[in-house]
Amino acid sequence: MVGSKARKKQLQRKDYQQLSAQKRLKIPVWRNTLVAFVVGGLVSVLGQGLIFFYIWLGFKEEQAASPMVATLILIASILTGLGVWDYLGQFAGAGVGVPVTGFANSIVSSAIEFKREGYILGVGGRMFQLAGPVIVYGAVTAFVVGLIHALVQWL
Amino acid sequence: MKARKKVGLQSMVFSRPVAILSSAACVGPLEGAGPLQGSFDVVYPDLLIGAKSWEAAETTMIKEAVEIALGKGSLSTQSVDYLLAGDLLNQCIAANFAARDLGIPMLGLYGACSTMAESAGLGAVLIDGGFAQYTVAAASSHNATSERQYRYPTEYGGQRPPYSQHTVTAAGALLLSNGLHCQSPMPRITHFTVGKVCDLGIKDPFDMGSAMAPAAADTLLRHFADLALAADHYDLVVTGDLAYVGHAILKELLHQSNLDLGSRLNDCGLMIYDRHEQPVFAGGSGCGSSAAVLCGYLLDMLSSYTIKRLLLVGTGALLSPVTYQQGETIPCVAHAVAIEMCHDHLADEELR
Amino acid sequence: MIFLYAFLVGGAICAIGQLLIDLTPLTPAHVLTVLVVAGGVLSGLGMYGPLVEWSGAGASVPITSFGHQLVQGALQEKATAGLYGVMGGIFDLTSSGITAAIVFGFFCALIFDPKG
């Protein structure tokens, strides 16, 4: 009795999920992917331009990526602060979210939003709410890869 | 012993329909520019309203809605027996902080976006039960406060899917009374159906419409069955905030159960915004959706006899950021409040 | 030519991110985490470095490069300081980026208010 009730509930849920998928407004995947490709590409082109600019300023070629990343972070931070970035993000999705600009926006938007909860606990404590996973898993990956490399070398 | 005022399984009938003496709707700029403009008491110029935080702004909104409703009903806060109010925020801070300033004995409620219907129904219960002469039912929601609590910081560049909804920035308040001093026709609450929490497995917090539609269907069908009503009993049946997707699903669910409301079925989340002109995706959501539309436009329609019988089905999604992160599905509830334009029949009998 | 390669590679990585967001229940935070880890793994396999050489900013602008730099930092320090270097060097190459984000984030919080 209990088993058949549970199965009936599962079927009801499955049918409903199908109905819901049918009626749901569809995500324009082609449009989103194309826009993300073009905008992401343009952000990278901007980055490349900045690299040449810093080389011209005197940086060595290998060192120019650092100030380039910092510049993109600065641009994204200011546009976030001006209240423009959320519109850009809605339009371009991963096109601005996947480059380092997205990382910057997640940090700056959190810092600005939680300012009202104070500078220590709000800004300081919640700044990495959205960007934290990237740092955590990046560091863990680097640690594991480093260990594997050491192991492979030792063998 | 059977409960005298209970009908069917989940419905209540009021022995004396509870009068809605006055109402007020206070909304934000996007709502004020929408299709229902002109039906609101206050349209704020921005989301902050000069307050020190979004939350303080929402507190101001719900407080002003109550004050304006009381003003229209020529009543002071001291004359109100109880305030029943809620909002979407953790610990219902907007409603509770407003109650602090208003000084009315407070019953805080949480029904998510169904809070307006819940507070109206319970406010009527207190009056018809002889526990109060005047109650105020109120609810509010605010786009920025709910975004930063349930989803992302307001300046975050995340992309929302087309089926997501825009939380309405609005507050609504109703002044309810046993109307003994007023026999003329006015909107009166006749019945209240309390919903069960339903969950058909939707997990996506952007897909509120899909999550809430089953609860709306369950309560609607229960209401019609409990009261043995024909499909054309109400001139208008309005859900709180199913918006485009939820509304379409509800129609299908009702059709499957042989309840065809046709053009009588509408949704506050679809009425309060113009989906094609305003950046609201599938439509409005939040307590403010049903609150602002009921406390302005719908009551106006009743008062002007454009419609005579209205059923408001407030719909709420009972998730929290914690349950979402823990991988839970989204349970929902819907409460139905029947409002009819009528005079006080029992008063006639008493006079005879 | 490097501008064209930057456009293509940077665009492609963003397109992959967009597809993950649209076609799976993953949120943007999940997708960025996946991309960072992917960048780190490719870096460990020696494949991300040549991609940076070939497409320049196309590979160093997306968040995948963050994973690459974390791994390279670990490996470089391991080469000089042994096994402990794996821990000590992880943030070497990325410290300017993280510092920039923190510092700019803080000053923006001082200057700007959320607009809703």
Does B156 contact chain A (CB < 8 Å)?
Answer: yes
Provide the residue type at A54 as one letter: Y
> What is the tens place of the pLDDT at every residue in B43-91?
999 999 999 999 999 999 999 999 999 999 999 999 999 999 999 999 9
CA–CA gap between residue B320 and residue B322 (Å, rounded)? 5
**What number does CATH give the domain B1-352?**
3.40.47.40
> How would residue B183 be classed by pLDDT, with cut points 50, 70 and 90?
confident
Residues forming beta bridges with residue B281, ordered by sequence position: B165
Q: Which residues of B touch A113 (CB under 8 A)?
A: 148, 153-155
Flag whether pLDDT at B351 surpasses 60.
no
CA distance B171 to chain A (A): 23
What band does C116 get if pLDDT is binned at 50, 70 and 90? confident
Enumerate neighbours of B (3 or more CB pairs within 8 A): A, C
Task: Write out pLDDT tens, residues A52-85.
Answer: 999 999 999 888 999 999 999 999 999 999 999 9
Q: pLDDT confidence of A8, banded at 50, 70, 90? A: confident
Q: Compute CA distances B311 → B216, B273, B302, B308, B345, whole Å.
A: 12, 20, 11, 10, 20
Instruction: List Cα–Cα distances, B228 to A153, B9, B224, B338, in angstroms.
Output: 80, 12, 6, 14
Residue A107 is given by DSSP the state H
In this model, does residue B345 exceed pLDDT 90?
no
Most A CBs within 10 Å, among B48, B55, B159, B164, to test the A interface: B159
Which chain C residues are closer than 8 Å to B204 by Cβ? Answer: 25
Query: Which residues 66-85 in chain A show a CB within 8 A of chain B?
Result: 80-81, 83, 85
Query: Interior CA angle at B24 toward B19 and B26, to 5°?
Result: 155
Q: In a 3-state reduction of DSSP, which class is residue B333?
A: strand
Residue with the bigger pLDDT between B50 and B351: it is B50
pLDDT of res. B181: 66
Facing residue for A24 by CB, picked from B154, B158, B210: B210
Nearest by CB to B155, which of C25, C28, C114?
C114
Nearest CA-CA distance, residue A18 and chain C, Å: 16
Contacts of C36 in chain A (CB under 8 A): 134, 137-138, 141
pLDDT in tens, B236-252: 999 999 999 999 999 99
Average the pLDDT over B323-344 and give the result.
Answer: 94
Asked whether the beta carbons of residue B207 and residue A20 sit closer than 8 angstroms, the reply is: yes
Instruction: State the chains in contact with C (3 or more Cβ–Cβ pairs under 8 Å).
Output: A, B
CB contact under 8 A, C97 and A70: yes
Q: What is the pLDDT of residue A5?
A: 86
pLDDT of B180 over the 80 cut? no
Interface size A-C, in CB pairs within 8 Å, comes to 257
CB contact under 8 A, B47 and C28: no
Q: Whole-model pTM?
A: 0.94
Q: Which residues in chain A touch residue B214, judged by CB atoms under 8 angstroms apart?
A: 16
Q: Using alpha carbons, select from B282, C45, B223 the residue that is nearest to residue A144.
A: C45
Q: pLDDT at position B51, please? A: 95
Measuring CA to CA, how many Å separate A90 from each of A112, B45, B209? 19, 24, 21
Give B48's contacts in chain C (Cβ within 8 Å).
Answer: 116
Say if CB B53 and CB B76 are below 8 A apart. Answer: no
pLDDT band at B348 (very low <50, low <70, confident <90, very high): low
Residue B64 pLDDT = 98
Give the closest residue to C58 by CA, choosing from C71, C44, C39.
C39
Which H or E run contains B271?
A: helix B268-271
Under 8 Å between Cβ of B306 and B279:
no
ipTM reported for the complex, 2 dp: 0.93
DSSP A48-100: HHHHHHHHHHT--GGGTHHHHHHHHHHHHHHHHHTT-HHHHHHHHTHHHHSBH
Inter-chain touch C29–A130, beta carbons under 8 Å: yes
**C-alpha dihedral (B42, B112, B235, B307), degrees to nearest 10:** -20
User: Are the C-beta atoms of residues A41 and C20 closer than 8 Å to each other?
Assistant: no
Q: What is the largest CA-CA distance in chain C?
A: 50
Where are the alpha helices (H) located in B11-87, listed in sequence order? 29-32, 54-72
Q: Where are the domains of chain B?
A: 1-352
Which residues in chain B are contacts of A85 at CB distance < 8 A?
155, 157
* Residues of A with Cβ-Cβ distance to C73 under 8 angstroms: 142
pLDDT class of A7 with cuts at 50, 70, 90: confident
Q: C116–B153: do the CB atoms touch at under 8 Å?
A: no
Q: What pLDDT, on a 0 to 100 scale, did the predictor assign at position A6? A: 86
CA distance B149 to B235: 37
Distance from CA of A130 to the nearest CA of C (A): 7
Query: Does residue A142 register a pLDDT over 90?
Result: yes
**CA-based nearest distance B9→chain C, Å:** 38
How far is residue B19 from each of residues B91, B236, B298, B305, measured CA to CA in Å?
30, 19, 15, 16
Q: So what's the pLDDT on residue B292?
A: 98
Work out the pLDDT band at B349, boundaries 50, 70, 90: low
Kindly report the number of other CB atoms within 10 A of residue A3's CB atom. Answer: 7
From the list C55, C70, C105, which residue is nearest A141 (CB)?
Answer: C70
At position B30, the amino acid (one-letter code) is L
Percent of the residues in chain C that have a pLDDT greater than 70, as a whole number: 100
SS3 B267: strand
For C22, nearest residue in chain B (alpha carbons): B161
Q: What is the pLDDT of residue A97?
A: 96
Q: Provide the pLDDT for residue B6.
A: 97
Which residue in B153, B203, B204 is closest to C114 by CB distance?
A: B153
Q: How far is A144 from chain B (nearest CA, A)?
A: 26
Residues of B in contact with A93 (CB under 8 A): 159
Q: Average pLDDT, whole number, for chain A?
A: 94
Q: Give chain B's mean pLDDT.
A: 95
**Would an 8 Å CB–CB cutoff place A1 in contact with chain B?**
no
B249-292 per-position pLDDT tens digit: 999 999 999 999 999 999 999 999 999 999 999 999 999 999 99
Place of tokens 């380039």: A68
Per domain, the residue ranges of chain A are 30-128
Burial track A43-74 (b if 16+ CB lie within 10 A, e otherwise)? bbbbbbebbbebeeeebeeeebbbbbbbbbbb
Give the residue, A2 or B279, on which the prediction is more confident: B279
CB contacts of C115 in chain B (<8 Å) are: 154-155
The yes-or-no verdict on residue A125 having pLDDT over 60 is yes
**A19–B252 CB contact, under 8 Å:** yes
Question: Which chain B residue lies closest to A93 (C-alpha atoms)?
Answer: B159
Q: What is the DSSP string of A122-150?
A: IIIHHTTTTTHHHHHHHHHHHHHHHHHHH
Give residue A109's pLDDT.
96
Reported as half-sphere exposure (CB side, CA atoms, 13 A), residue B194 has a value of: 12
pLDDT at A155: 82
C54 touches chain A (CB under 8 A): no
Best mutation target among C34, C41, C104, C113 (most A Cβ atoms within 10 Å) is C104
Q: What pLDDT score does B308 carry?
A: 96
